Structure 1
Amino acid sequence: MKQASPFEIVAARCWNLLNEGKPFTPIFTLSVFLLYRLDQWTDSGFWAAAGLGLLCILPLLMLYYHFDFPLFLRNYLWFPVVAALLLWQPGNLSLYAAAIGLYMFFTVFFWGTFYYRMRIGTSWWNFRRFWKLVLKNSDSTSGNAQEQLPKVILLLLLWNHFYELFPLGSERRFMGVFSEEWLILACFTACLWLYSWILHRNLFDWKPKETESLTSEPERTGNAVNDKVIVIVIDGMRKERFEEADAPFLKKLRQEGTQYTQMETVYPARTVVCFSSMFTGAYPKEHGIRSNMVWKLGIRVESIFDSLRKVGKRGRLLGIAHLIDSMGDDVESVTAVMHNDRADRNIMDRAKKIMAEQNPDLFVVQMIGVDQTGHSMGVLYDEYLQKIAEADRLVEEFVEWLTSKGMMENTTLVICADHGQADGIGGHGHLDEGERFVPFFLHGPSIKQGCRVDERHSLISMAPTLAYLLGAPYPSASRGKVLTDAFKS
């Protein structure tokens, strides 16, 4: 399996500009407005009027970038639209129709059909299902129609209104009228900021509670419990769907080891955020990765890979290009541009090669097929269960290969997901139903057999637990609790 090319790494970062809801809203609004008035581009007055109109709505663009409106908060976005319609004339209805049409074309066909067809081999008929997923999606991404459409319509309504106030090469006097209009807009914008702040202050209550103290117990002696630890992260595996799937080997490992039934992911539950928290033991505000759109590359704190280097040990993370943005050279990248039926097979073949040639003390493998199926086809369909079943067979084959090479004699195996997935386009980030709690279990000679831990834990416990098992110091910013309930002694 080939590595992610430099082009793919850059392309993945660029795609996040369109995938993440925060940058998508201004990009899409700007694109719709300019395309709608394509015939006026040669008029110099157009650019002046459009620029001044854009300047008027800049505070609103900043507001919608600052505040997310996922889950039920998106229902409150239509009230500002109604208020704007009472204050200003609707303007060009064809502009809003163009916006809705372009949005559905981008999400349903370009993204849900063409993009997934080119990248992972999804059917050309995927749009027949994807439009329903977009309408149901609750996460704050570009694929959340119920969040993006009211935002875009409001922005276009006001931009178009103020654009038409400015002269396009005429001598029309408008400053007196405009001063009054500007005052109304300023009051409207201030009220919308206050409205958004009140909503988030009083209704935004689903963020997990964070641990304040750093990891300090058990006290480190420098003695390793295991020779190796292997972590297999089945990206996006929803907990209850895993229970329904035909996955006998994974469930056998869980039964013979220790499972954590209330393992909670971090907020926001984006893949790069989750991996950064799992392998630093820190929260996003500390390691600096707050979404898949990474503006400043690299985590700001120590990772488990840094801790292992302090004691002369080595760890490797086999994953897709996104993870390079946070973990840098500790990532063995794999290309995500391949048919989804081959992706995990190729990843496991590459995993065997890394173990045979490098033999790291800690090896983390990211399996991507389940997550990609959820995003492209939805999590409540049979294809999602089938992909979990395929992951089960591949993990079984990999463990059998490790056993045949003598690499499992004093090794702990950790199986988990980084986040779940919600209904719709398999969204994840803001902890809708199906996202918050993930499968998590350990197996090995030092792990208790048939043990079930029902106490709530967080995925930030991953890094300090790995450090404890491998005799390394805890990462300096780690706040996770070592999962001592799973150890025999």
Structure 2
Amino acid sequence: MKKASSFEIVAARCWNLLNEGKPFTPIFVVGAFLLYRANQWGDIDFWRSAGLGLLLLLPLLAIYYRYDFPLFMRNYLWLPLVAALLIWEPGPLALYLFALGLFYFFTVYFWGTFYYHLRIGTSWWNFKRFWKLVLKNSDSTSGNAQEQMPKFLLLLLVWNHFYASFAEDGIGDWADRAWPLGAFALGLWLYSFILHANLFDWKPAENAPPTNNAVVPDKAPNDKVIVIVIDGMRKERFEEADAPFLKKLRAEGTEYAQMETVYPARTVVCFSSMFTGTYPREHGIKSNMVWKLGIKVESIFDSLRKVGKKGRLLGIAHLIDSMGDDVESVTAVMHNDVADRNIIERAKKIMSEQNPDLLVAQLIGVDQTGHSQGVLYDEYLQKIKEADRLVEQFVGWLEQRGMMSNTTLIVCADHGQADGIGGHGHLDEGERYVPFFLHGHAIRRGHRVDEKTSLISMAPTLAYLLGAPYPSHSRGPVLVEALQPHLRELS
């Protein structure tokens, strides 16, 4: 299986500019405005007037970059648009119809059909379902129509007003014309601040103390740990799926029934928290769009190096942005029906050739199916079924080679998925709690933990099992409830 090429790594970062909602909004507004007036590009006065209007628009762009308006808070985005319509002339209806058409062309056809067909092999008819997913999506991406539409319509209205004003009357008394915008921007900021301060209250608490509930044992309980992360596997859909092997592992091991992901529940954020043991505010990765490459703190891979051990993370290109050289990248440009199979074959190769003490493998088929075709359809359950068979095959292969004799196997998801285009980010229904269970000789059999726990406990638990120091900023407690009694060395 091919590694992700340098081109794919750069392309993935560029795509995130259009995929993540925060950078998409200004890019789309500028693009829509300029394309609508493409016939005026040769006129220097057009660029002067458009540039001055864009300059005045910057405070509004900054406010909408700062505030997401997640989940039900999207409904409050329409009130500023109504206020703007009362203050300024709306301008040409054709501009807004063009922008709406361009938005749906980009999300429903270019992204939901053309892009997914070329990258993972979805049907050319995927747009027939994808438009519904865009309307239902609550994710923090460009495909969140209910958040993006009121934002870009308001921004285009204000920009077009000042563009027309400068084009007709010149700069002149621009300050007199602009003061209503200053008052509006101040009101929009205050409105956004008050809404987020009073209504945005569903983020998981970030108050875990530094890891200290278990002493790292002198002798590591395990020789190896294998972590299988089934990206984007929604918890109750896993319960509905035909996945006998995974459910057998869970029944024979220890399950954490209320394992909570972090906020925002984006893949690179979740992986960074899982393998550093801390929150985004400390490790510095706050979305899939990573502006400054690399985590700011130690990871479990750093901890293992301190005791002469080795860990590898097998995943797609965007994990390199946070974990760097600890990632064995795989190309994400392949048909979704073979993606996980190829990843498992690559995992076998890593175990054969490198024999790491810790292997983390990211299976991507479930997540990609949710994003391209939705989580409430049969295709999503089918991908969970396929993941189950592949994990069974991989574990059997490891057992044949004697690699499971003193090994703990951890199976989990990094986040769930909501309705719409496999939404995950804002912790809508289906995102927050993830499947998580451990299996092996060191793990209690038939045990279930119902207390709420967090994925930040992954890193310190791995350190404990492999006899390594906890990562420098690890805050999650070791999952000692899962360990056999003689392996718990509580402080």
Q: Which TM-score bucket, shorter chain as reference? A: over 0.9
Distance 1:92 1:39 in 2: 16
The corresponding residue for 2:132 is: 132
The corresponding residue for 2:265 is: 269
Matched, 1:426 2:422: yes
In the alignment of these two chains, the number of paired residues is: 485
Residues 382 and 173 of structure 1: CA distance in aligned 2, closer, same or farther (over 3 Å): closer
The corresponding residue for 2:357 is: 361
Distance 1:173 1:459 in 2: 57
* Percent identity over paired residues: 76
State which of 172, 175, 179 in structure 2 corresponds to 1:175: 172
Is 1:229–1:411's contact at 8 Å kept on the other side of the alignment? yes
Q: 1:221 offset after TM fit, Å?
A: 3.4
Secondary structure at the counterpart of residue 2 of structure 2: coil
* TM-score normalised over the length of structure 1: 0.98
Matched, 1:46 2:43: no
**One-letter amino acid of the counterpart of residue 21, structure 1:** G
Alignment of 1:67-466 (within 5 A): 67-167=67-167, 172=169, 175-176=172-173, 178-466=174-462
**What's the CA shift string for 1:321-362, capped at 9, x where partnerless?**
010000011000000000000000000000001101111000
Q: 1:90 offset after TM fit, Å?
A: 1.0
Secondary structure at the counterpart of residue 279 of structure 1: helix
Is 1:222–1:473's contact at 8 Å kept on the other side of the alignment? no
Distance 1:181 1:302 in 2: 52
Distance 1:347 1:218 in 2: 34
* TM-score normalised over the length of structure 2: 0.98
Secondary structure at the counterpart of residue 451 of structure 2: coil
Q: 1:223 offset after TM fit, Å?
A: 1.9
**What's the CA shift string for 1:83-130, capped at 9, x where partnerless?**
000111111110000000000000000000000000000000000000
Distance 1:458 1:221 in 2: 23
Aligned structure 1 segments of 4 or more residues deviating by more than 4 angstroms: none
Distance 1:477 1:344 in 2: 32
**One-letter amino acid of the counterpart of residue 146, structure 2:** Q
Is 2:314–2:330's contact at 8 Å kept on the other side of the alignment? yes
Matched, 1:32 2:32: yes
Q: 1:174 offset after TM fit, Å?
A: 6.2
Distance 1:241 1:167 in 2: 56
Q: 1:216 offset after TM fit, Å?
A: 1.5
RMSD of aligned alpha carbons: 0.8
Secondary structure at the counterpart of residue 290 of structure 1: coil
Is 2:100–2:149's contact at 8 Å kept on the other side of the alignment? yes
Distance 2:65 2:389 in 1: 42
Distance 2:149 2:99 in 1: 8
**One-letter amino acid of the counterpart of residue 175, structure 1:** G
Distance 2:87 2:434 in 1: 47
Is 1:211–1:480's contact at 8 Å kept on the other side of the alignment? no
The corresponding residue for 2:488 is: none
Is 1:315–1:363's contact at 8 Å kept on the other side of the alignment? yes
The corresponding residue for 2:468 is: 472
Unaligned 5+ runs, structure 2: 486-491
